[in-house]
Amino acid sequence: MSKMENNRKKMSLVLHPVFFAAYPVLLLYLHNIQEAPLFDVILSIAVVVGVTLLLLLLGTFLFKSIRKTGVVLSVSLLLCFLFRQVQMFTKNLLAIGTGKTIISIWFFLFVVVLYFVVKTRKQLNNLTKVLNFMSGVLIVLVLVSIFFQGAWGVEARSSMSEPNLVNTRSVPMDAAEHPDIYYIIFDRYACLSTLKDYYNFDNSEFINYLKTKGFYVASESNANYLTTAHSLTSTLDMGYHNFSNDEAEKLGGSWLPLYKALQDHKVGQLLKARGYKYIHFGSWWYPTRKNKYADMNVCYEWLPEFPWALYKSTAFYPILGILFNWEEYKVKYDRILYQFEKLAEIPKMQEPTFVFAHFITPHPPYVFDKNGNFVSRIKEARKDTKTAYTEQLAFINQKIKLLIESLLADSERPPIIILQSDEGPWPRRFFKNKLNFNWKEATTAELKQKMGILNAYYLPNVDKNILYPSITPVNSFRLIFNLYFNGQYELLPDKSYIFEDYYHLYRFFDVTEKLQRKQERE
């Protein structure tokens, strides 16, 4: 047997670095099996395993031993991917877990392992076999778990109730005369009363500004559902979710039907059929990051959500965050400013446009102070949550004002603008047990905090008397199609629904009357 063939045989036996590289990706997928797109998972595995194989080849060239290289590489992978778990563990139990401390310990351990592996004269055959077996068992266990938890997703789509739904009739005007339509979502933007009662923040100046610019602000509006996925699909499909008890039980905690509905929604279909160019302003969140049916996607390019979560779990995250600002807070800061900047350029386009823009703000993390300065993770930790939230909201208010001024001044025809939040902030008690929090047991005060939203409409050249204080997002586009496209959509009853918990996302309960009652005392 030639030397080359012998080395190739030895390489085939050193499997553990590849298994240890793939395992964290598969484990993350297992924990996010109903949300993560399979393509992103496969791509992440390909990148991680590819880099591992490259390092294995380079290390073998340097150390003249594939087994020694494999041991060093596997230890490095374990240290890298265990970083986040160890950091959380030490913070909770030992109160020492700063990133710099653990990185220093990790570097020391790596040097020790490297020293002993290089110095030893043993071929490490037995250790290689043990590592192959251990890593192989981990891979088999996680693959079996993925299989039994339904890795390939639920082939279902959100079902919408459509009582008294009549398709829009022929449009009387030429497509070139259609106004631009801006549907802009500010995630977890609380209503006026929530800001006053829970955050001690008076937002009336901003609300009055909207009114002076011609907006109708629905002062008693509530979200139709608890979460972004439920709310946006309901708004964009112009109906309520309608699942049978059997369907609800089958779907359980799967988000996939909602994510699928967010891609191919009725509003986009109807407006594109009427000559509109659909421009999608994406967030970091996978379901709204890009839309394959949009004519143009405007997205601040960075890692998609799944590989970003994988990156955050590694030791590279704090290191590259310090060296190059490649960390969550700075990326969000840049993305929000980018979205505002690009959104202000839309009026320059000649064709009528439908713009969907999802701003994940004032949703945490809180990366802006009230003047728009960057707030790092360390600076945010020094603030209480209420202060951090209201300061970010105050700056976003200023950016919204500038955006409105630009849209109104630069548009050839007065545009339609909807400013809306998909949900309010989560109540404090929710964070104690997110997955098992039973919304049926939530107090009226907690429901009001979560369901009260910003809902403002700029509807030029039509009679706004049809609007009313308690209108909810499910009727937003029904109203627009009626007013501007000769539509005949009956407005639906304005309802608010909760689901039981995160394991029963489609078991809905009507809380409309409860939200209308006088707020309970905590």
pLDDT greater at residue 430 or residue 63 = 430
Q: What is the CATH number of the domain that holds 510?
A: 3.40.720.10
Average pLDDT over residues 491-501: 95
* 169 falls within a domain: no
3-state DSSP assignment of residue 283: coil
Mean pLDDT of the chain: 87
Q: Is 90 exceeded by the pLDDT of residue 233? A: yes
Rg (the chain; Cα; Å): 26
Band of residue 143 on the pLDDT scale cut at 50, 70, 90: very high
Average pLDDT over residues 1-30: 76
* 162 falls within a domain: no
**Could you give the CA distance from residue 120 to residue 103 in angstroms, rounded to a whole number?**
26
Band of residue 150 on the pLDDT scale cut at 50, 70, 90: low
Band of residue 3 on the pLDDT scale cut at 50, 70, 90: low
**Could you give the CA distance from residue 55 to residue 76 in angstroms, rounded to a whole number?**
11
Do 355 and 433 fall within a single domain? yes
Q: Is 80 exceeded by the pLDDT of residue 168? A: no
- Is the bond into 365 cis (omega within 30 degrees of 0)? yes
Q: What confidence score (pLDDT) does residue 102 get?
A: 76
Q: Within a 10 A sphere around the Cβ of 351, how many other Cβ atoms?
A: 12
3-state DSSP assignment of residue 418: strand
Band of residue 19 on the pLDDT scale cut at 50, 70, 90: very high
Domain range holding 60? 3-148
* 78 falls within a domain: yes
pLDDT digits (tens, 9 = 90+) for 78-126: 988 988 777 766 665 544 455 677 778 878 888 888 888 878 878 788 8
Q: Is 60 exceeded by the pLDDT of residue 44? A: yes
Do 128 and 255 fall within a single domain? no
b or e along 160-191 (b: 16 or more beta carbons within 10 Å of the residue's beta carbon)? beeeeeeebeebeeeeeebbbbbbbbbbbbbb
Q: What confidence score (pLDDT) does residue 6 get?
A: 54
Q: What confidence score (pLDDT) does residue 11 get?
A: 47
Number of domains in the chain: 2
Do 362 and 494 fall within a single domain? yes
Q: What confidence score (pLDDT) does residue 106 get?
A: 78
pLDDT greater at residue 111 or residue 35 = 111
* 77 falls within a domain: yes
Residue 183, strand partner residues: 356, 418
Average pLDDT over residues 276-283: 95
* 101 falls within a domain: yes
Do 144 and 182 fall within a single domain? no
* 170 falls within a domain: no
pLDDT greater at residue 239 or residue 172 = 239
Average pLDDT over residues 419-443: 91
Do 143 and 181 fall within a single domain? no
Q: CA 449, 452, 453, 456 torsion: positive or negative? A: negative
* 418 falls within a domain: yes
Q: Are 465 and 452 in contact (CB under 8 A)?
A: no
Write down the residue that tokens 């009725």 correspond to.
266
Average pLDDT over residues 48-57: 94
Band of residue 175 on the pLDDT scale cut at 50, 70, 90: low
Q: Is 50 exceeded by the pLDDT of residue 166? A: no
**Could you give the CA distance from residue 19 to residue 134 in angstroms, rounded to a whole number?**
9
Band of residue 171 on the pLDDT scale cut at 50, 70, 90: very low
SS (H, E, C) 241-272: ECCCHHHHHHHCCCCHHHHHHHHCCHHHHHHH
* 160 falls within a domain: no
Instruction: Look at residues 390, 340, 354 and name the one whose alpha carbon lies nearest to residue 370.
Output: 390
pLDDT greater at residue 435 or residue 513 = 513
